[in-house]
């Protein structure tokens, strides 16, 4: 596990799912992903986040499947040291307290039994709060039966988080983690700081997905024309690159002064806010860079300078429509 006062860094297999969506068809890709996985594990990145919806259509669950294969090849000591978390999607047809049962069994089989934490993938509070309550009760059942050792939630605001924390506490169950979009460019930063405060007060681990804003925060301020593999990401970069120059200049300045990468600086900003950044890794070089970010920390002055640069950046990443209050 990681110390809440000094969060580590984890890696997520969402990038693998996206890769499959956009033309995955080669066993060479599997080999690169396995090499990346082993590099991350060997360098001490022991928290892995995935989901049953990563890899859709004919490739549904492919990220979990590959992850299970890779873990199964590790030594028992390395495998034991990993914390594997998956997220179950609250699709409209998954209803009632048993709504996640089949999905949970399928995920655990794909992961070849290595599943430590199960999480609600997003909040249904905005359109079906009753579904959310029943599905969370089902996750608690998995915990009480010993099928997993931890449960968590994603895309919840501080009000809903406190409500669930109180409800589960009456059942004697601790909510382990909350996962939200959190970066220097995440939307509504003032609300996310409220979430940070709530997690600290309730002793809930805060996990930050998209900590590099789809990689945009790793782009030097002198580079303004970036190729993107997807239409959505390309449109996002065209909108955010010009408006984030000031922020990326501050990131670049700190990176040069520290002899580190811009990505490491952005990840350590998350850590400075007591959040564990979950990085989507695509190759061993990125795995090394993420692990190196664990070896140092921002000073209070550097954190403050980045806070100000972030606040001055008016264009933000799009909000998750399922994020609750």
Annotated catalytic residues are 54
Rounded to whole angstroms, the Cα distance separating 65 from 36 reads 16
Dig out the tokens for 9 from the structure.
């860094």
**Cα 319 to Cα 50, 196, 246, distances in angstroms:** 21, 17, 22
Rounded to whole angstroms, the Cα distance separating 181 from 197 reads 15
CB 58 within 8 A of CB 23: no
Query: Given 3-state DSSP classes, what are the helix, strand and coil percentages for the chain, each rounded to the nearest 5?
Result: 50, 10, 40
**Kind plus residue range of the DSSP H or E element containing 17:** helix 14-21
CB 181 within 8 A of CB 187: yes
Dig out the tokens for 325 from the structure.
């209050």
Rounded to whole angstroms, the Cα distance separating 107 from 93 reads 17
Q: SS3 for 106?
A: helix
CB 153 within 8 A of CB 178: yes
**Kind plus residue range of the DSSP H or E element containing 151:** strand 150-154
Give residue 196's Cα distance to chain centre.
15
Rounded to whole angstroms, the Cα distance separating 325 from 138 reads 22
- Residues 6+ away with beta carbon under 8 Å from 33: 16, 19, 66, 70
Q: Which of left, alpha, beta for 39 (phi over 0: left; psi -120 to 50: alpha)?
A: alpha
């Amino acid at each position: 596990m990681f110390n809440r006062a000094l969060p580590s860094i984890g890696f997520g297999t969402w990038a693998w799912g996206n890769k499959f969506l956009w033309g995955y068809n080669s066993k060479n890709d599997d080999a690169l992903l396995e090499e990346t996985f082993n590099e991350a594990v060997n360098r001490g990145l022991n928290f892995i986040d995935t989901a049953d919806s990563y890899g859709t259509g004919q490739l549904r669950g492919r990220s979990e499947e590959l992850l299970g294969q890779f873990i199964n090849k590790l030594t028992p000591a390395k495998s034991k040291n990993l914390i594997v978390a998956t997220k179950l999607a609250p699709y409209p047809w998954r209803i009632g307290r048993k709504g996640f049962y089949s999905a949970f069994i399928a995920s655990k089989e794909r992961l070849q039994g290595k599943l430590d934490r199960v999480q609600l993938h997003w909040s249904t509070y905005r359109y079906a709060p009753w579904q959310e309550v029943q599905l969370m009760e089902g996750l608690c059942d998995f915990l009480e039966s010993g099928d997993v050792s931890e449960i968590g939630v994603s895309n919840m605001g501080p009000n809903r988080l406190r409500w669930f924390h109180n409800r589960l506490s009456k059942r004697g169950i601790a909510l382990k983690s909350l996962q939200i979009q959190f970066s220097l460019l995440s939307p509504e930063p003032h609300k996310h700081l409220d979430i940070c405060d709530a997690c600290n007060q309730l002793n809930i681990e805060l996990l930050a997905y998209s900590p590099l804003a789809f990689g945009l925060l790793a782009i030097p301020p002198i580079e303004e024309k970036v190729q993107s593999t997807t239409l959505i990401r390309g449109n996002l970069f065209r909108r955010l690159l010009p408006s984030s120059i000031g922020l990326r200049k501050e990131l670049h300045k700190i990176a040069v002064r520290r002899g580190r990468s811009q990505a490491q600086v952005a990840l350590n900003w998350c850590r400075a806010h007591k959040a564990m950044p979950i990085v989507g890794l695509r190759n061993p070089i990125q795995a090394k860079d993420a692990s190196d970010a664990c070896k140092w920390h921002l000073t209070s002055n550097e954190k403050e300078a980045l806070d100000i640069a972030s606040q001055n950046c008016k264009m933000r990443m799009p909000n998750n429509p399922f994020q609750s209050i």
